[in-house]
Amino acid sequence: MTERKDVHIPLILFGLDGRRFAIRVAHVLEVAAMVALDSLMSEENAYIGLANRHGHPLPIYDLRTLMHLAPGKLGVDSLFIVCQSDENLVGFVVDDIHQVIYIDPEDLTPITSNSPAIKEVASYEGQLIQIIAPGPLLAALAHSHNDRRQVDAVDAGVKL
């Protein structure tokens, strides 16, 4: 008889507006301190600017704004999480980083929410932790950008 090994899911636990959220460690490349950003004109208020990550541009977003919370204040002590989904890299500014936690799969519950980014919650230390899935969040951002480009192209008399 084979022995069943317990498999725990690692999550990086962080804070936004006094609430605790998490992202699966499998989607996280690194946690970094705020760096100088090249600011580009954007109508999207969640977009903060571009960081230079090892010679490549990294778009940085305020995760508070993306989660429909009050925008955070940026400073030299701000932190961002570099996430990857498929080939897309993005940085999400968070209020603070707590720790890496390990969740038993039975403590994860799939949910339906208004946010495309929240697909499951975890029970941890008696609290529910909303787990952010970068893939759907990045897809929603890309869809938002494509919609805006189509409107701009129609206004210019051009079809994309």
pLDDT (tens digit, 9 = 90+) per residue, 49-90?
A: 999 998 999 999 999 999 889 888 888 899 999 999 888 899
What's the pLDDT band for 117 if we cut at 50, 70, 90?
confident
| Residue 69, burial from CB neighbour count under 10 angstroms (0-12, 13-18, 19+) | middle
| Rounded Cα distance, 16 and 109, in Å | 21
Q: What is the dihedral sign for C-alpha 72, 77, 83, 87? A: positive
Q: Is the pLDDT of residue 159 over 60?
A: no
156 or 10: whose pLDDT is higher?
10
The neighbouring-strand residues paired with 78 are: none
What's the pLDDT band for 40 if we cut at 50, 70, 90?
low
Helix (H, G, I), strand (E, B) or coil at 155: helix
Phi then psi for residue 91, to 5 deg, are -110, 135
Question: Span 128-151, mean pLDDT?
Answer: 73
Identify the pLDDT of residue 38: 85
65 or 10: whose pLDDT is higher?
10
What's the pLDDT band for 155 if we cut at 50, 70, 90?
very low
Answer for the pair 44, 144: CB distance below 8 angstroms, yes or no: yes
Question: Which amino acid belongs to residue 92?
Answer: F
Domain annotation for the chain: domains and CATH numbers: 9-155 (2.40.50.180)
Residues with Cβ < 8 Å from 94, sequence gap 6 or more? 14, 15, 16, 21, 63, 79, 80, 81
How much is the pTM? 0.81
Nearest to 90 by CA among 121, 45, 135, 143: 135
88 or 101: whose pLDDT is higher?
101
Nearest to 76 by CA among 31, 13, 25, 32: 32
